A and B are shown apart, each in its own frame.
Chain A
Amino acid sequence: MRNMLSPSLFVRSALLVCAVAGGLSASAQCRSFAKNKCVPELAPYKFNETFNAAQLAPGEEAEVNLTFYSGQEYRVMVCTHPILGEVNWKLVDENNKIVFESLADEPKKFFDLKAGSTVPMKVVVWVPNKGSSSMVHVGCVAIMVGFKE
């Protein structure tokens, strides 16, 4: 009985509950952020319906494999929560040749393109490390693709 009520046990239980709930909540926040802040910015392109978003921290990387279909026009956009600051991202072909690059010190929000032929490509996003801060800021990064119908 004494053990059940000890403060340390409660604290640990509370932190465990918080960690689990926090993980789910963070994902939900990422969906909410992508839906409310990023999708509208794709206009006039139609959102391609695929959820490519993750919570990233400095030093972490995400990539999306995608195919552009010939004759179609696309907008590729990387949308980042302000807590992370600007991120680096690039669009590369199957040989890893860079077709477009946006670096954190000169960021570009989106890249519009037309596919002359059907090409598989890859979007790579990486969050730059910032100094020796003891805080790790984790924020939502959404990689969005829009197309013209």
Chain B
Amino acid sequence: MRKYLWPAAFIVAASLAGCGGEPAAQDQLTVDTATDSTKEERMAKTKKIFYNIPSPMETAALLKKAGAQYNSKILNDVKNVDKYTAASQQALNLGVYGADLSYASVFNHTQESMFYTSCSRKLADRLGVTNAFNDSTLELMQSKMNDRDALLDIISTTYWDVDAYLKENGRDNISALMIAGGWVEGLYVATQVTTTNDTPDLRRRIAEQKHALDDLVALVSSYGVEDARLDGVKGDLAALQELFKEIKTPEPGATTTEENGVTVIGGNEPPATLTDDQLTAIRDKAASIRNSYIN
């Protein structure tokens, strides 16, 4: 018995030591393919497809450039955070608070940024994402409160860490809910801003979300798992897609030109825009979906 125990224990210990723990400096795996069939199997794998949905920070920056004003009254109440007990609600609202955090930070409302950071931290904690968003992140943010650029960088990196952590731990559906929650909140904020601060640029940015919405629907639909909440979100996005369908966007195909040594893609097409009726319909639908997520 002892004769077998030691070699076996050594193998288990060596395997665990080699596979576990924090990622080391070496960032690759080398797989020894003993048989050709293993190699062929690997080669035959389908390609990996990603959908790059504009992040809350990118959306907030676009809104600011389009002349949007900051309005704290339209953001999710920080007191709501304790209402979210189900993981799906927590994930959606981590996205919602993440978008509110980006909006407040891009417009340099530092105190509110800290409140939204605290809410996001709470939800990340409940979702078990403390590896990516913990007390040291909060402390770092507090220390950079007066340095807007540094604060934006920390928020961006934290959002990325949370998303990556969820994906690498096989919780892609939770990641998708977070991304969907963030995108819906961004659309809600943009459309609400138009009620007091309607500009052609803002309308164009809202109309252009048609592309992001198509990618988001593809992302949410890419999971084979049975997830009732994800199905619900899919339905919400499909309803929005119906409204966005009416919006005219340029024909596919990008022209390229050079401008000071930089490639310019497109530019000859008329920009997408929204009629009053389209804007009202999208605003109402976005509000109804968003309110169903936060309440």
Interface residue ranges, A against B (CB under 8 Å):
5-7, 10-11, 13-15, 17-18, 21-22, 24-35, 37, 39, 46-73, 81, 83-84, 93-95, 97, 99-100, 111-121, 134-140, 143, 145, 147, 149
Contact = CB atoms under 8 A, between A and B. Distances in A.
Given A49-B159, A117-B250, 8 more contacts: A31-B161, A50-B53, A60-B47, A113-B262, A113-B264, A119-B266, A138-B28, A139-B27
B208 interface: yes
Given A69-B208, A112-B263, A147 B268 contact: no
Contact of A138 (B29, B161, B249, B262): B29
B28 A139 contact: yes
B47 to A, nearest CB: 4
A117 B49 contact: no
B180 to A, nearest CB: 14
A29 B20 contact: no
Interface of B: 1, 4-5, 7-9, 11-12, 15-16, 18-24, 26-33, 39, 42-43, 45, 47-58, 61-62, 65, 152-153, 156-157, 159-161, 163-165, 167-169, 204-205, 208, 211-212, 214-215, 218, 249-250, 252-254, 256-257, 259, 262-269, 271-272
Contact of A81 (B15, B28, B50): B28
A17 B27 contact: no
Contacts, number: 259
Contacts of A66: 52, 215
22 contacts: A7-B4, A17-B15, A25-B20, A48-B55, A48-B58, A50-B160, A52-B52, A60-B47, A67-B52, A67-B212, A67-B215, A70-B266, A73-B262, A117-B265, A119-B266, A120-B214, A137-B30, A139-B28, A145-B52, A147-B58, A147-B61, A149-B152
B5 to A, nearest CB: 6
Nearest to B267: A116
Contacts of A119: 250, 254, 265-266
